[in-house]
Amino acid sequence: MIDIKLVREEPQTVKQGLLSRNLDPSVVDDLLTIDEMRREKLTGVETLKAERNTVSREIGKIKDKGEREAKIADMKVVSDSISALDEELRLIEEKQQELIMGIPNIPLAQVPIGKDESDNVVLRVEGEIPTFDFEPLPHWDLGPQLGILDFERGVKITGSRFYVLSGLGARLQRALIAYMLDLHIKQGYLEKYTPFMVKGATLYAAGQLPKFADNLYKDHEEDLYMVPTAEVPLTGLHMDEFLEGQQLPLRYTAYTPCFRREKMSAGRDVRGIKRGHQFDKVEMYTYCKPEDSMQELDKMMADAEETCRQLGLTYRILQLCTADISFNASIAYDIEVWAPGCQEWLEVSSISNVGNFQARRANIKFKEEDGRKDYVHTLNGSGLGMPRTLIAVLETYQQANGSVKIPEVLLPWMGGATEIPCCA
RNA sequence: GGAGGGAUGGCCGAGUGGUUUAAGGCGCCUGUCUUGAAAACAGGUGUGGGGUGAACGCUCCACCGUGGGUUCGAAUCCCUCUCCCUCCGCCA
């Protein structure tokens, strides 16, 4: 949520932010108009309330019956006006809130302007595009051939875009998760195990509601949603808290499954397991002071990148342009790994500095010993997203005989297996 | 699922319609005293929003778990929901 004071004081900044995201800036003027109305209405009703408070206190002390009755009658009229004005004010505030909740974060000046994702900037590519002396298979052929990936039964028990991992395939994914969590712990993040379901208020705080309601799975009788990313419960952790300055930065890592309807992506990426309604992810999340957030962004980037490097994957770093950074983000980078079988770059991580955008919604502040108070900055990044990392590992480490070698760093979790044999 | 109890400031805790403008205590901050500290004493100490001002500030409104209601006036009365505790039942 952006600051209404910023809209008031620097409407041009906000408009430019919207323009850079290719959005209509006229909402800023609407907001200014409604804010003016709101303050006018507020001043009026508060004056009446002040009067009522004073006179009501006097009424308690008045002994003369006639005088007392007269004042009560007067205040009844005042009270009725207050009720009416309060209701008008409520509607105005509701409208204002609705408008402000719909405004995305303002991109930082260094974010490249772009029209769509094709304007993202490839900052660098790490590792060589691997070459094979045989035709590398895409995972949708390789997985079933190895007996570790079962599309039909996933569809049978749940529906399209669901699959079952089996044997060493399931174990490989579990190894990836365990390895990533352990790595991030070493990098200074505290592991959290959170609920996989959250209430509506938590999703509002994280910026997922109201805008992305379509993408969420919701319980049909309670106010409970399946998490679309661990970012949501990790934001919720410190919702409505005043943190001590000396506690910061707080760095967390968590594994959760993620549940998304993917209505927007109907028909896209239907082949294989690249995009499902349920996927696993290890997330990194940082709360810090505003002055430290760019440095924390660099750290989180480096920490996510280290995962790809240790896994021996070929990857590239993209700086997202204004059109492609998420609603919450002020600046963001993606990490994409190369999948030699399906011959494409797969997004396995998106790392964002959210600034105080989420902290405002979630009401997370910190206090310094010298009395300074401010909203924290939050950052989030995947480290990494699961099925796609699994795809890249399978496709990168496949051998001519049809087997798949296990990357060195995963061996401690593989129960002695060093490869997935071709007829598992 | 059933029965009962509870939710008040950073913490403890009083408060069943108007001298409560949330008592008192603890903690914290400032000052006096002291070489320094402790103790003692005095003062201060929440969040959000509005108005005003160059600024220290001044002032008003709201907030006693949530959302409604009754009333001239609600922490206090009524309804709703949430959460916590105790006991019973069921259960991986």
3-state secondary structure A348-398: EEEEEEEECHHHHHHCEEEECCCCCEEECEEEEEEEEEHHHHHHHHHHHCE
Q: Are A287 and A79 spatial neighbours (Cβ–Cβ below 8 Å)?
A: no
Q: In angstroms, how far is B80 C1' from A359 CA?
A: 30
Q: In angstroms, how far is B75 C1' from A56 CA?
A: 17
Which of A171, A179, A158, A145 lies closest to A313, judged by CA?
Answer: A179
Altogether, the residues listed in chain A come to a count of: 424
- Nucleotide closest in space to A57 (CA vs C1'): B18
User: A47: exposed, middle or buried (C-beta count within 10 Å: 0-12, 13-18, 19+)?
Assistant: exposed
* Residue A301 phi, psi (nearest 5): -60, -50
pLDDT at A244: 85
Q: In angstroms, how far is B34 C1' from A107 CA?
A: 57
Alpha-carbon torsion, ordered A333, A339, A343, A349, to 10 deg: -20
Pinpoint the alpha helices (H) of A60-187.
65-101, 139-146, 151-157, 168-186
pLDDT at A141: 96
Q: Which two tokens stand for residue A2?
A: 């952006």
CA-based Rg of chain A, rounded to a whole angstrom? 27
Q: Which two tokens stand for residue A64?
A: 């003369």
DSSP A399: -
* Residue A348 phi, psi (nearest 5): -110, -10
| Residues near chain B strand, CB within 7 A | A 4-5, 39, 42-43, 46-47, 49-50, 52-57, 59-61, 72, 75-76, 78-79, 365, 373
CA dist list (Å): A339 to A387, A392, A410: 12, 5, 18
Contacts of A407 (CB under 8 A, 6+ apart): A310, A311, A312, A393, A397
Full pLDDT tens readout for chain A, 424 residues: 899 999 999 999 999 999 999 999 999 999 999 999 999 999 999 999 999 998 998 888 887 888 888 889 999 999 999 999 999 999 999 899 989 988 999 999 999 999 999 999 999 999 999 999 999 999 999 999 999 999 999 999 999 899 999 999 999 999 999 999 999 999 999 999 999 999 998 999 998 988 888 999 998 888 899 999 999 999 999 998 888 888 889 999 999 999 999 887 767 777 899 999 999 999 999 999 999 999 999 999 999 999 999 999 999 999 999 999 999 999 999 999 999 999 999 999 999 999 999 999 999 998 887 778 889 999 999 989 999 999 999 999 999 999 999 999 999 999 999 999 986 4
Q: In angstroms, how far is B8 C1' from A214 CA?
A: 40
Q: How far apart are CA A326 and CA A105, in angstroms?
A: 8
pLDDT at A281: 97
- Nucleotide closest in space to A223 (CA vs C1'): B82
- What SS3 class is residue A257? strand
Dihedral sign (CA A65, A67, A73, A76): negative
DSSP β-bridge partners for residue A193: none
Q: In angstroms, how far is B24 C1' from A103 CA?
A: 48
- Nucleotide closest in space to A40 (CA vs C1'): B50
- Whose CA is nearest the C1' atom of nucleotide B50? A43
- Nucleotide closest in space to A46 (CA vs C1'): B61
Contacts of A62 (CB under 8 A, 6+ apart): A68, A71
- Whose CA is nearest the C1' atom of nucleotide B51? A43
* Interhelix angle A168-186/A139-146, nearest 10 degrees: 120
Q: Which nucleotides of B are covered by protein (CB under 7 A)?
A: 18-19, 21, 47-51, 60-62, 71-73
- Whose CA is nearest the C1' atom of nucleotide B21? A57
- Nucleotide closest in space to A47 (CA vs C1'): B60
Q: Are A193 and A308 spatial neighbours (Cβ–Cβ below 8 Å)?
A: no
Q: So what's the ipTM on this one?
A: 0.87
Q: Give the pTM.
A: 0.92
- Nucleotide closest in space to A80 (CA vs C1'): B72
Q: How far apart are CA A231 and CA A48, in angstroms?
A: 44
Q: In angstroms, how far is B76 C1' from A373 CA?
A: 34
Residue type at A356 in one-letter notation: N
Q: How far apart are CA A256 and CA A236, in angstroms?
A: 14
DSSP A255: E
pLDDT at A191: 96
pLDDT at A424: 47
